[in-house]
Structure 1
Amino acid sequence: MQEKGVSEKDTGPRRKGCDPLSQTVRGRLQSRRQKLNGQINKEMRMRAGAENLFKAASNRKIKEQVAMELSFVNSNLQLLKEELAEINSEVEAYQTDTFLRSVPLIPLGLKETKDIHVKLVFQDYILEHYSEDGANYEAEIQEFMDLRQAMRTPKRTTEGVDLLFEYYNQLYFIENRFFPPDRHTSIYLTWYDALTGIPSVQRSIAFEKGSVLFNICSLYTQIGARQDRSELQGIKEAIVNFQKAAGGFRYLGENFSHAPSMDMSAPVLDMLEALMAGQVQECIFEKRVLGGIAEDIQTNFEIAQEAAVVSDAYGKVHRLMMHPKVKDYIPYSWISMMLVKSQHFKASSHYYAAMGYTDTKSTYDQSTLERVFPSIYLEPRALQVPRTQEERKRLSKAHIRQALMLHEEALRVHGLSKMLRKIDTLEEVLRQSHDRSMGRYTELDEEDDFFEMMDVPEIRGETQQVPKPTPPDFTIVKVKDIFHTLGPLAIFNARNNWSAPRVVDIQRGMEGFGFTVRGDSPVIVASVDPGYVAAASGVKEGDFIIGVNDDSVKWAKHGDVVKLILGSQRLRIELVTPLSTDFLHPQDKRRLNSSDSAGSSQMDLNESIASGSSTSERRQQPSPKKAAKENPNGVKSPGRGKGSEISNGSLPKGVSMNGKSSVGTGKKKDRANKGKGSDKEGAKKARGVLNSKAGLW
């Protein structure tokens, strides 16, 4: 299918949280990424065809021509991947619009996808599985397609995140409605790798959900990167969003074990989670030093340890990036930036340690130094606590010298990367930090200093705020099932099967219709009395009533269906029969293996599914004359509770109406209780069974 750029008219009706992004730098990058994905896909198809032709060809001349064409395709593919890697290395376009004097953070671009055409597939499935006319659901299908199109271009705000969550949550209903677990549909879902642009095609809805969740995490990284970290609130927002991204990548790795593409493989997700945690730690450090710090021994040492934590975090990310499966996959500039940041913050930790030893603006406190000295170094025994001004100065100079060496290494690595050299703010921060340390070293350096230069050990990292990856909260956006009218999802889903709908016409007789109902959404035929019009018309125990007098009652409550039946002299009901026992409630399953408290015998499976009533509750059939005499009006008003008695005959005295509605059986209930316990106890236990929702699971 031919790819095209995203424009506003392509997104259909504008939804809240959707932005075609056609006028922003980030939007142009995303559009360019989409075009590159299409070109890479085209080149890969050409390469696959050329390779197949090379294998099949036997003529030497043809093989040489195919090999030459294959080399051209590989060259074009390599150029396209390099251009895509350059887009993925772009970080400044995702930063805040205001001028920042902080190191840029790494965001992720969104995964791209192809259009899918589900109209015919959904309509055919609705006709095949739900026995309804798929043409009646064109509006619902179009609404789903509009939602999918809108989520491809979300805003870089919380509204954009909500839009992605809305689509993700809607996929729960779509999966249960249209994707049976025992076979694949003919819907092919195509998503491009976030970094390489290589397409992956699957027919599993789990692939769609995983890709959307990846985009949710990517959007969190973009929102976090754009925050103004020169303000406290901006730093806090960045921390929150990067923690959400880290939690999302962790959730993705734990729940999507079979990676359909490299960007969702376990090594890459582990690296991305660590990267987000490192960027959270960097924001925590920036929050600690925002607005300046108190120039005393305790504070400087704490800041030095905070910087050491950031350095360690980025060192871990760098090691994960050097994984064989990750190293050749991610942009080279990311690896370089992790090494630069690790060296930069390690240098900062030594700089603040040096500032702690040369504290001249506060009273020197030897006891404080002796207390914090062992906790700041990984190997404190390599040094002794300085006790004189000269010893402190010498130790401070050693730390500054170490900081200068690390700053110079960071600048060297920065200069080796073409993409990092384009980031002006990064180079500026590195230069300023280096000049700051150089100025301090110049102040401490003296011509008559003949002491041998000390080697200081590594600083122990310690933070006051540990990053906490926040798992995705799918409840933040409430959605309504688009295909709500197909019926309650617990019953009418792709897993369950039932017979084709059948319409039954029943003429009310003097004895009534002859069946009982229970439950709601949908109402179920609890029992059918043999010899009456309902049984003769084909009504069966366990049937779902989905229509009454041409009105759909899939979602109707028990009382509403009873009223519709009561108001009909000639009843027209639409029924379906479940084809499996999955609709049994655990309570009904237990009762299959034991008799109830009223001394009933064990029921068969169909009776348990239908009503859960006991054999001791069978009604006796009065004569038609007696029934007419007891109820001359022919109608009994509904009772209370879950169900009520509906009959042309009278309701015998003392008969319980718990959870079932008798639709014109005209029978009296046997009041004899032959089981254990009193009549009152037996009725109480029977009510506990009959008030369940008709065996629905």
Structure 2
Amino acid sequence: MIPLGLKETKEINFMEPFSDFILEHYSEESSIYMDAIADITDTRQACKTPSRDLLGVALLFRYYNLLYYVERRFFPPDRKLGVYFEWYDSLTGVPSCQRTIAFEKACILFNLGAIYTQIGARHDRSTDRGLDSAVDSFLRAAGIFRHIYDTFTNAPSMDLKPHVLDVLVSLMLSQARECLFEKLKLQSESSGLTGSSLVIISAGPQSTELAQLFRDLGGEAAQLSLEYNEMHKNIQVNDTHTYLPECWAGLVPLKAELYRALAHHYEARSIDVKVASKIGPVTSLKDSFVGNSREALCVTQCSGESNEDSASFIAIKHTHLREALASYEEAQRLQRMCRFLKNKTSLTQAIKEANYQAQEEYENFRIRASANKVDESYDLVERVVEASSKVYIDLNWTRFHVVQSGRSF
């Protein structure tokens, strides 16, 4: 998962400009409000280095809510206060300075979204609870970036530009969908429907459920591949890749290929289960319908299906496995080409294991197809897994609750 870094800022002391404004504009003694001004100053100072957890989220929310009152009382539209907000771009490190409170609010919101991305990336994705929490965090981050996109104009820094924010929103939504995909895999494994290599396939409701599960996983993986592929195109078209970290620009097309491979792999398995249920109990995916073409032809003859239908299933699985292997190899190539990704052992291991499983199934298929004299020329030129998802992902923009306690202005 890709987390975002926070924007950095310089210290500001609100005491002098706010005191002068109170005396001049409201004709009141500023000493009455010294504690309140000091509280705002201290809160902003703490926001420079917030903790990367829910306490940091609460701190940034508190300061953002305080800015609501500060804007109403000290930043009238017809007058510029002598306060300059300077922030550093989280992507390029270039400083930007403005006197508008809108810039300050946008930067605080950006850091709020960035913390949510870091929280989401740290969750334990080996449990349902951890995956649900990660989805929530990524959706909150996406909602915050979309809010900045919709409300903040004339951004002085690159990380607040509309085309960059649009990429960040897409990235967070895709990472949330990744967590849902992992949750579906986890639920299928915990229910005993699937395993690394062995399953029990027999005619009946369980085989139908297993075939549908593989189709669902294939559709979700294809949807992820589509989203990452579109994201990669957008990054290249608007030159966002020149500002994004190199590891990000490399990971997006890699994930597009990886999920394309998974989509074809799961689609091939769904074909196994679909037709293996007609043969009878099978102890392994390797011994399924397509793995034993002679039995398949016998079954289709008994069931009234033509030999062409049987050969079609064989050709379809053959094509899906070849497409999966090609995409796995492309994902490995993209990792090797990126200097920031080639040493990521966890990523290397994940791609290697998935590729090994597909290679093992493909080699077993080839051996059995050759032994049973299956005509390899009966093949398909191309096979596409249709992107589909049963989950609609929407932006989960966090509501702002204005802080009432401790209000002194």
Q: Residue 415 of structure 1: which of 321, 328, 336 is its match?
A: 336
5+ residue gaps, structure 2: 195-209, 280-304
Structure 1 residue 286: deviation in Å? 0.6
5+ residue gaps, structure 1: 1-104, 366-383, 485-697
Q: State the SS of the aligned residue for 1:420.
A: coil
Q: Which residue of 2 aligns with 1:363?
A: 277
Q: Contact 1:173–1:481 at 8 Å: present in 2 too?
A: no
- Counting only pairs closer than 5 Å after superposition, residues 330-409 of structure 1 correspond to structure 2 as 330-359=244-273, 363-364=277-278, 389-409=310-330
- In structure 2, what is the Cα distance between the partners aligned to 1:249 and 1:209? 12
Q: Residue 247 of structure 1: which of 113, 125, 143 is its match?
A: 143
Q: State the SS of the aligned residue for 1:201.
A: strand
Q: State the SS of the aligned residue for 1:245.
A: helix
- Specify the code of the residue in structure 2 equivalent to 1:179: F
Q: Residue 470 of structure 1: which of 390, 393, 396 is its match?
A: 396
Q: Contact 2:319–2:383 at 8 Å: present in 1 too?
A: no
Q: State the SS of the aligned residue for 1:363.
A: helix
Q: Residue 233 of structure 1: which of 119, 129, 145 is its match?
A: 129
- In structure 1, what is the Cα distance between the partners aligned to 2:69 and 2:405? 9
Q: Contact 2:116–2:137 at 8 Å: present in 1 too?
A: yes
Structure 1 residue 470: deviation in Å? 1.1
- In structure 2, what is the Cα distance between the partners aligned to 1:272 and 1:189? 24
1:511-541 CA-partner distances (Å, limit 9, x unpaired) = xxxxxxxxxxxxxxxxxxxxxxxxxxxxxxx
- In structure 2, what is the Cα distance between the partners aligned to 1:385 and 1:127? 92
- In structure 2, what is the Cα distance between the partners aligned to 1:231 and 1:483? 45
Structure 1 residue 361: deviation in Å? 9.3
Q: Which residue of 1 aligns with 2:217?
A: 303
Q: Residue 64 of structure 2: which of 168, 193, 196 is its match?
A: 168
- Counting only pairs closer than 5 Å after superposition, residues 107-256 of structure 1 correspond to structure 2 as 107-256=3-152
Structure 1 residue 469: deviation in Å? 0.9
- Specify the code of the residue in structure 2 equivalent to 1:110: L
The alpha-carbon distance between structure 1 residues 472 and 291, as it changes in their structure 2 partners (threshold 3 A), is closer
Q: Which residue of 1 aligns with 2:291?
A: none
Structure 1 residue 221: deviation in Å? 0.6
Q: Which residue of 2 aligns with 1:483?
A: 408
Q: Which residue of 2 aligns with 1:489?
A: none
Structure 1 residue 183: deviation in Å? 1.6
1:393-416 CA-partner distances (Å, limit 9, x unpaired) = 332121111100000001001100
Q: Contact 1:127–1:133 at 8 Å: present in 2 too?
A: yes
Q: Contact 1:262–1:268 at 8 Å: present in 2 too?
A: yes
1:311-362 CA-partner distances (Å, limit 9, x unpaired) = 1111121122113341211112211100000000000000011101122896
**Structure with the greater alpha carbon radius of gyration:** 1
TM-score with structure 2 setting the length: 0.84
1:312 aligns with 2:240: no
- Counting only pairs closer than 5 Å after superposition, residues 514-553 of structure 1 correspond to structure 2 as none
Q: Contact 1:224–1:237 at 8 Å: present in 2 too?
A: yes
- In structure 2, what is the Cα distance between the partners aligned to 1:315 and 1:481? 49
1:530-565 CA-partner distances (Å, limit 9, x unpaired) = xxxxxxxxxxxxxxxxxxxxxxxxxxxxxxxxxxxx
1:262-312 CA-partner distances (Å, limit 9, x unpaired) = 101110011000011111111111111115353632221121111101111
Q: State the SS of the aligned residue for 1:353.
A: helix
Q: State the SS of the aligned residue for 2:96.
A: strand
Structure 1 residue 449: deviation in Å? 4.3
- In structure 1, what is the Cα distance between the partners aligned to 2:130 and 2:48? 27
- In structure 2, what is the Cα distance between the partners aligned to 1:423 and 1:442? 28
Q: Residue 428 of structure 1: which of 349, 352, 360 is its match?
A: 349
TM-score with structure 1 setting the length: 0.50
**Aligned residue-pair number:** 361
Q: Which is bigger in relative contact order (C-alpha 8 A, separation at least 6)?
A: 2
Q: Contact 2:116–2:140 at 8 Å: present in 1 too?
A: yes
